[in-house]
Amino acid sequence: MKYSLVISTSVLLSTFTTTLAAPVNPPATAVAAAAADDTDEYIVVLAPTEKRPWAQVFTDLGYNMTSRTHAISVNKHTFGTNYGDLRTFGKEVRAFTTHMKGSDAASLSSLPGVLSIEKDVKWTVKVQRFNETYGTHNLKDNKWSFPAVKRQQDQMNQVVQQSTAPWNLGRISTAQPLVSNGREVIDLKFNYQFERSSGIGIDVYMLDSGINTQHVDFGGRAKMVFTAFGNDITDGHGHGTHTAGTVGSTTFGVAKNVNLLGVKVLDAQNQGSLSSFVAGVDFAVSSHMQRRSQPGFKGSIINMSLGGPGFSQPLFQALQRATQAGMHVAVAGGNDNTDSCQFSPAQFSQLLPIINVGASNVVDQRWEHSNYGKCIDIHAPGDGIVSTSNKGPQAMEPMSGTSMACPAVAGAMAVELLKNPNLDPAGLKQLILSKALNGVLQGVSGGNLLLNNGLRAIG
């Protein structure tokens, strides 16, 4: 049974108002109309100055805590601490989710200690299987083997060429359009030039459907660190394994030495709740803060190949905290062939130093389903992208979407961050955009940038 407020709104107002400090930012006004008074799940974000224990906060809110089980164990597989049907977030965000009526949500939103209240909506992340007749293939037929990185300083910037790369890697390391020369878009016959160091020591948090960590192409560098689904750390969809492969797998990855950290916020249907996304970002920030003092740490990146319609205040606040903590963020522009500014987190690129990515195809056109507009910072290859699959330890398959373009940018960010460790998120964003090819894409209005690593190979 879902928990609800046990005292009247008037009592709650008088109690809560006197115990919470004023918020840094004004509370969000977009809550359910009290007239409808439907019961729904909400995310309640408190002011950053609120530091009291959760039990005290909930007591002042008017929740009956005596009949509830207080601390269910918190570990890497949990969402937070549960108080009955209340569910809190982690260390970096003072927030919780609960079932309540629209009138209660409207009342809570006016309290000086509440930063924002928003319905906990569920988003489905769209992705296209490139060709269902292609199926999945195994890596055993691919002869490429990336030589192990040697950490001697004189080899860190050595350039390596891979001749068995997917087309997206070939395109981002050449200034010229790709010429087919008999190659199909899903062939692993393209040339990719990259630096041997290639993101070593960089942590990339993959907010997605999970990672098939047993895939041989990850070379033991991928692990699951968080899930919003109980103890389920599997990738039931394949979206997360695919995006992780484009960031940093041996064959398909832009940055072939990064640490791939799976943050599971999408289920087997590629669906996830807004609260899970916020909790995933919150976990990544907490982990980043801990990792900064550990040996070998070089920086943190968040890849978010996900999103949904409208402006989400809790998700904006979470990503704002991430960038303020020095984390670098790449987000997918969306696959609805419409204005990317209508979606979160894509539209945050106008307010935060994050990179919003649109998708292009193999002939340098905007991919037909890619979102567009002023909120798109850069494009990257996203149509018919071959990468790692969840279907086995050697499986690979092609997918299409801005979800496939976004991790290419995250990988490029990892490469540049290793060479420029002192860059803040705004500085790294500017560097990535400055190295891009300008004006080469067809069907793009406004900013016309295509991701490039500056090595200028022959694709």
Name which residue leads in pLDDT, 81 or 70.
81
pLDDT > 70 in the chain, percent: 78
Per the structure, the complete domain to which residue 54 belongs is given by 9-120
CB atoms within 10 A of CB 153: 7
Task: Report, as an integer, the average pLDDT of 16-36.
Answer: 39
Catalytic residue among 104, 120, 203, 208: 208
Among 237, 239, 328, 369, the one annotated catalytic: 239
29-33, 86-90, 97-101: range with lowest mean pLDDT: 29-33
**Together in a domain, 178 and 107:** no
pLDDT of residue 96: 81
Position 323 pLDDT exceeds 90 = yes
Report the alpha-carbon distance of residue 175 to residue 215 in Å, rounded: 32
In a domain, 456, yes or no: no
Q: Are residues 84 and 192 in the same domain?
A: no
Q: In this predicted structure, what is the pLDDT of residue 67?
A: 38
**Apex 335 CA angle, 332 and 339, nearest 5:** 85
Answer yes or no: is 244 within a domain: yes
Please indicate whether residue 403 is annotated as part of the active site.
Answer: yes
Question: Is 171 a domain residue?
Answer: yes
Task: pLDDT band for 146, please (50, 70, 90 cuts).
Answer: low
CB atoms within 10 A of CB 129: 13
The predicted structure's pLDDT at residue 139:
65
> Distance between CA 27 and CA 47 in Å, rounded?
9
Tell me the pLDDT tens digit for each residue of 190-229: 999 999 899 999 999 999 999 999 999 999 999 999 999 9
State pLDDT tens for residues 360-386: 999 999 999 999 999 999 999 999 999
Q: Average pLDDT in the 159-186 region?
A: 94
Average pLDDT on 321-331 reads 97
d(CA 339, CA 335): 10
Output the pLDDT for position 351. 97
Q: Rounded mean pLDDT of 120-138? A: 72
The region, left, alpha or beta by phi > 0 then psi within -120 to 50, assigned to residue 201 is left
Alpha carbon 68 to its chain's center: 34
Residues 354 and 413 in one domain: yes
- Alpha helix locations (H) across 198-354? 239-248, 274-291, 313-324
- What are residue 387's DSSP bridge partners? 397
Q: How many domains does the chain have?
A: 2
DSSP code of 178? P
Q: How far apart are CA 423 and CA 429, in angstroms?
A: 9
Q: Are residues 108 and 152 in the same domain?
A: no
More confident residue, 11 or 367: 367
Q: Quote the mean pLDDT of the chain.
A: 82
Distance (Å, rounded) from C-alpha 263 to C-alpha 270? 13
Structure tokens at 457: 């190979």
| 7 C-beta neighbours (distance < 10 Å), count | 12
What is the pLDDT at residue 16?
36
Catalytic residue flag (residue 107): no
96, 120, 144 — which closes off a domain?
Answer: 120
Q: Rounded CA gap, 106 and 330, in Å?
A: 33
Contact 256, 194 (CB under 8 A): yes
Catalytic annotation on 242?
Answer: no
pLDDT digit string (tens) for 398-411?
A: 999 999 999 999 99
Give the mean model confidence (pLDDT) for residues 234-244.
97
Domain final residue, candidates 120, 152, 169: 120
Is residue 98 one of the residues assigned to a domain?
Answer: yes
Q: Do 58 and 192 reside in the same domain of the chain?
A: no
- The pLDDT, as a whole number, for residue 110 is 76
Low-confidence winner among 110-114, 215-219, 327-331, 373-377 (lowest mean pLDDT): 110-114
**Alpha carbon 247 to its chain's center:** 12
**Co-location of 372 and 289 in the same domain:** yes
How much is the pLDDT for 150?
A: 45
